[in-house]
Amino acid sequence: MEENYDEKLFSDVVENVYVKLKRHIERELETNPYAIVRVRWLKKLLQGRRGAQFILKRLSREYNVTKMGSWYIVRPKNTDKKTKK
């Protein structure tokens, strides 16, 4: 139920930015172990609107998102967790 509520909060611009950002991340992850997203680039795509934190929250469901200075480092979540013996 919460996911449906989140989906309805997207405006058209935020939805388009999310889709564009996700495509960019997927292209980067095909060749690299991580993708870099500049904070300034994300804000430019949003055209001064709020929504960056909302987009990052949605991305963090599928990826590990870490902020390092003025960049976001996006890595795939490890589904194969090693157990310690």
6-24 average pLDDT score: 79
Q: Which among 81, 37, 40, 44 is positioned nearest to 59, based on CA atoms?
A: 37
Checking if the pLDDT of 5 tops 50, the result is no
Q: Which among 73, 74, 56, 67 is positioned nearest to 6, based on CA atoms?
A: 56
Please give the residue that has the higher pLDDT: either 9 or 15.
15
What's the CA gap between 44 and 49, in Å, rounded? 9
Contact 25, 63 (CB under 8 A): yes
Q: State phi, psi for 2 to the nearest 5 degrees.
A: -65, -40
Global confidence as pTM: 0.74
Checking if the pLDDT of 68 tops 90, the result is yes
pLDDT in tens, 25-34: 999 999 999 9
Domain boundaries, the chain: 2-76
